[in-house]
Structure 1
Amino acid sequence: MSVLTIEPLVPADREVWQQLFAGYNEFYGRTMPPEFFDHSWAEFSADERMHALGARFDGKLVGIAHFLTHASTTSADACYLQDLFTAPEARGRGAARALIAAVTDWATANKCGRVYWSTHESNNTARRLYDQVAENRGFILYTIPLP
């Protein structure tokens, strides 16, 4: 049986992390330039504004979670789980659930008032998990892309 661990990313994770993050972006129809990955990795390495955790089966990185906090007008700071992705071969084995739990633990330890995230309405596989671990309050997300 494989051992699942959730840990912060380390420099040796860079290559596999980038493959996973590219897979996440491809899922949403995006192709990102190399400098995008460089910027994100630098932010996660600094661990100040944006944070990252990795899910590992027997030491092999198979999932990632990226998150950040922001001020809230109606509660303590909020923790936004921006990106969550697991490698196809690791799906259905508890990595995503464990990553969500670890982000929730981090947010609790950092006195956040809530953890939240969004997903596309067609992402049925993920939504089955999300409906088990969180409350869908029915909000609709609107976006204005800027240059």
Structure 2
Amino acid sequence: MITIDALAQADRAAWQRLFEGYNAFYEHPMPAEFYDQAWAQFQAGERMHALGAKLDGKLVGIVHFLVHANTTAADVCYLQDLFTDPDARGQGVARALIEAVKQWAAGQGCSRVYWHTKEDNHTARRLYDEVAENRGFIQYVIPL
């Protein structure tokens, strides 16, 4: 059975291992202090939020999200990072995490939840096409 909950201090090492896996997948290595900063933000629960998914008491999935203003409706929830341990994939972990963010955002009065993924992330996109609507937007980025 999958359980979803806020990350506790005892989850710190497992969370970092999963977040490192996420960053490796997207070829985005981060310095150690960024993990420390993110963890502190998640524990504060004010600007950024995180949930963890456990199977048999083991942390096997994480999701990070935040709320921001929106010019055309109520605030929106951006699901920034989602990662499932490769050994736990196909068991509904990512689906459960997305649903938990959806429920959380609805409780905050958000008008929608949205996220990005790489075009060639076919495995994730199969799930995303089932649980969300692809509105066809293209993302542009200016690194600073």
**TM-score (structure 1 length as normaliser):** 0.97
Name which of 59, 79, 82 aligns with 1:81. 79
Give the drift of 1:55. 0.5
1:139 is paired with a residue whose SS is coil
Identity %: 67
Structure 2: any 5+ residue segments left out of the alignment?
A: none
From 17, 29, 32, the equivalent of 2:30 is 32
Partner of 1:21: 19
AA at the equivalent of 2:12: R
Q: Distance in 2 between matches of 1:91 and 1:53?
A: 17
Equivalent residue number for residue 117 of structure 1 = 115
Supply the RMSD in Å over aligned alpha carbons. Answer: 0.4
| CA shift for structure 1 position 40 | 0.2
TM-score (norm 2): 0.99
Match of 1:105 in 2: 103
In structure 2, distance between residues paired with 1:76 and 1:32: 33
- The secondary structure found in structure 2 opposite 1:37 is helix
Secondary structure (helix, strand or coil) at the match of 2:110 reads coil
Unmatched runs of 5 consecutive residues or more in structure 1: none
Over 4 Å off, 4+ runs: none
Q: CA deviation at 1:126?
A: 0.1
Count the aligned residue pairs. 144
